């Protein structure tokens, strides 16, 4: 899959990594989640991203999941491996391994916690960008450091640059797209306007884990403003606590995954689950991954190390 083909993918799901009751990756359930994404017309997946809890996986688990997805689904979906890191050597090694295992593109992030200078960010990202096609992920709320537009403009000249997953809002996305720099919204609540008013290439979505068909409509049809408006409370609920707490809870409530959490994540409390239950209850069950909506009790959840 070349860069031009990758850029045609408008709905990319940051797929959840499910765990079984032993705390291991549940590949059987993962495959069921992926099949649902394909059924509803999703174009691609981010493997081991924030939503996929890549930061809670060891590299053996992380790369195994990339290899599994690429080899089983790479002919039907864009497979993007989150091989970025705040450690440049680690990012380079993981990115090389990810491409060797069949992923189509990498997702690269600037150094978090151990922040560096603008020059350091450029060299850090470029070191992995040299290996193969990659999206650059700008999420200042998590990294603590914005990748400034001047730096993105420089990185965009690299032959392996695919585009930016941008979380700094639609104004910036519009500015990038006007310069010919492809952007995917990292904010589900803004992605409809981003796509149809600001010319984004699409969205890398959390919400499409649970309602992929409705997110498909938002990306494909500019006349879905009422649907977009109706989904805003669900978007808000899915990010009421740091992602992926809410989407993990929601997929547990619909029966799509076992209600198993790896620390430091813990499920939403019953009162907040009730809010999500009420929001999901009004959506056609055929649109919901899992479909068997239940509030669940606190002791239905397992929290493991």
For residues 162 and 137, is the Cβ–Cβ distance under 8 A? no
> Does 298 sit behind a cis peptide bond, omega within 30 degrees of 0 on the bond before it?
no
- Buried/exposed code over 246-277 (b: 16+ C-beta within 10 A; e: otherwise): bbbbbbbbbbbbbbbbbeebebbeeebbebbb
- The SS3 assignment for 57 reads coil
Q: Smallest Cα–Cα separation from 140: which of 170, 169, 120?
A: 169
CA-to-CA dists, residue 160 to 147, 213, 273, angstroms: 18, 30, 42
Quote the strand ranges of 124-275, DSSP E. Answer: 134-138, 161-166, 183-185, 202-205, 260-262
Catalytic positions are 137, 165
């Amino acid at each position: 899959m070349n860069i031009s083909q990758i850029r045609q993918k408008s709905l990319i799901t940051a797929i959840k990594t499910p765990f079984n009751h032993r705390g291991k990756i549940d590949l059987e359930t993962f495959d069921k989640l992926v099949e649902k994404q394909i059924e509803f017309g999703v174009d691609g997946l981010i493997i081991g991203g924030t939503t996929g809890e890549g930061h809670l996986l060891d590299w053996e688990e992380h790369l195994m999941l990339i290899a599994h997805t690429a080899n089983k689904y790479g002919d039907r979906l864009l497979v993007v491996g989150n091989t970025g890191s705040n450690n440049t050597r680690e990012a380079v090694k993981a990115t090389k391994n990810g491409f060797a295992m069949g992923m189509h593109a990498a997702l690269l992030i600037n150094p978090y916690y151990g922040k560096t200078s603008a020059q350091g960010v450029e060299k850090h990202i470029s070191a992995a960008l040299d290996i193969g096609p990659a999206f650059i992920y700008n999420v200042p709320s998590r990294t603590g450091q914005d990748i400034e537009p001047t730096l993105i403009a420089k990185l965009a000249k690299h032959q392996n640059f695919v585009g930016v997953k941008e979380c700094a809002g639609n104004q910036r996305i519009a500015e990038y797209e006007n310069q010919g720099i492809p952007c995917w919204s990292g904010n589900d609540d803004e992605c409809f306007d981003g796509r149809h008013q600001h010319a984004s290439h699409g969205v890398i979505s959390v919400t499409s884990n649970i309602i992929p068909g409705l997110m498909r409509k938002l990306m494909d049809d500019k006349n879905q403003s009422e649907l977009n408006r109706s989904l805003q409370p669900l978007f808000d609920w899915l990010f009421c606590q740091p992602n992926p707490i809410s989407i993990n809870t929601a997929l547990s409530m619909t029966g799509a995954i076992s209600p198993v959490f790896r620390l430091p994540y813990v499920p939403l409390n019953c009162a907040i689950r009730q809010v999500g239950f009420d929001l999901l209850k009004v959506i056609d069950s055929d649109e919901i991954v899992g479909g068997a909506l239940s509030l669940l009790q606190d002791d239905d959840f397992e929290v493991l190390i």
